[in-house]
Amino acid sequence: MEEYRMPLIGDTFPQMEVKTTKGVVKLPDDYKGRWFILFSHPADFTPVCTTEFIAFQKRYEEFQKLQCELIGLSIDQVFSHLKWEEWIKEKTGVEIQFPIIADNTGEVAARLGMRHKQAAGTQTVRAVFIVDPKGVTRAILYYPMELGRNIDEIIRMVKALQIADKGYAIPANWPNNELIRDSVIVPPANTVEMIGKRREQEKAGEIKCLDWWLCYKKIEY
């Protein structure tokens, strides 16, 4: 199998055509103009993965409100994915509505660096790629196989990245930051002129500052 370099944050997501439970998908082109999240799981019919897929589906509407699509992946064939989806619906009443990539050759996992030494056999680790409407990889998460993902954190990341595109930075634990709560950080001054502007903005009530290099404001999101 050809050697690939794992895409990094800021890289354009690799061009590829994948077979899914919803038909053939061209990445990232078919999602142009929308965000998408590609996430891998070790295998179908496994306990942690089942809880994750239900959790993703339960929040699917929230992702779509953010103009963000979901696409899953494991090194299983389409019929396995379809049977697993059927089982989930029969046993839990949850219908998986997003596509799942059938990467039975392992090529997609290899291109995205989803197979680590800790992964057993052909299984993939729990990787998450958040890709923006221009097809640029904006965030990458890797979880060990024994740890299920926090879907609310992934939603938080998409919201935060969309706000960051407006020129702000996002504090720790946003929107429940210990210092500035749900405010976002205004870019710090990098010239003497900008220091004066920040002070004027603070006096006008447009922003709040702990100092000229740490200013923040509330925004609609």
Residues 80 and 41 both lie in one domain: yes
185 token code pair: 């950080």
**42 and 132 belong to one structural domain:** yes
DSSP state of 98: S
Could you tell me whether strands 126-131 and 137-143 are parallel, antiparallel, or unpaired per DSSP bridges? antiparallel
Q: How far apart are the first and last CA of the chain?
A: 44
pLDDT of residue 152: 97
User: Could you give the number of structural domains in the chain?
Assistant: 2
Q: Is residue 218 domain-shared with residue 136, that is, in the same domain?
A: no
What Rg do the C-alpha atoms of the chain give, in angstroms? 20
Instruction: Check if 49 is active-site.
Output: yes
150 contacts: CB under 8 Å, gap ≥ 6: none
pLDDT of residue 141: 95
pLDDT value, residue 29: 97
Give backbone dihedrals phi and psi of 108, rounded to 5 degrees, phi first: -65, -45
The whole-angstrom distance between residue 7's C-alpha and the CA centroid of its chain comes to 14
The reply to whether 50 and 126 lie within a common domain is yes
22 by DSSP, 3-state: which?
Answer: coil
The one-letter code for the residue type at 123 is: Q
Same domain, 142 and 180: no
Q: Is 106 left (phi over 0), alpha (psi -120 to 50) or beta?
A: left
Task: Please tell me which residue in 49, 68, 209, 215 is annotated as part of the active site.
Answer: 49
- Asked if residue 11 belongs to a domain, the reply is no
* 141 domain residue, yes or no: yes
Q: What tokens does 62 get?
A: 């929230």
- Beta-bridge partners for 169: 185
Measured distance CA(151)–CA(143) in Å, rounded = 12
Tell me if 2 is assigned to some domain: no
Nearest to 15 by CA among 31, 30, 26: 26
- Tell me, yes or no, whether 27 and 127 share the same domain: yes
Same domain, 70 and 128: yes
**E strand spans, 117-188:** 126-131, 137-143, 184-186
Task: Check whether residue 102 and residue 183 sit in a common domain.
Answer: no
Same domain, 145 and 176: no
Is 193 domain-assigned?
A: yes
How does DSSP classify residue 169? B
State the 10-residue block means of pLDDT for the chain, 221 residues long: 76 96 97 97 93 97 98 94 97 98 90 70 82 98 91 98 97 98 96 96 97 95 79
Query: Measured between alpha carbons, how far is 102 from 75 in angstroms, rounded to an integer?
Result: 6
pTM summary value: 0.93
Residues 191 and 105 in one domain: no
pLDDT for residue 3: 55
Q: Which domain holds residue 144?
A: 16-149
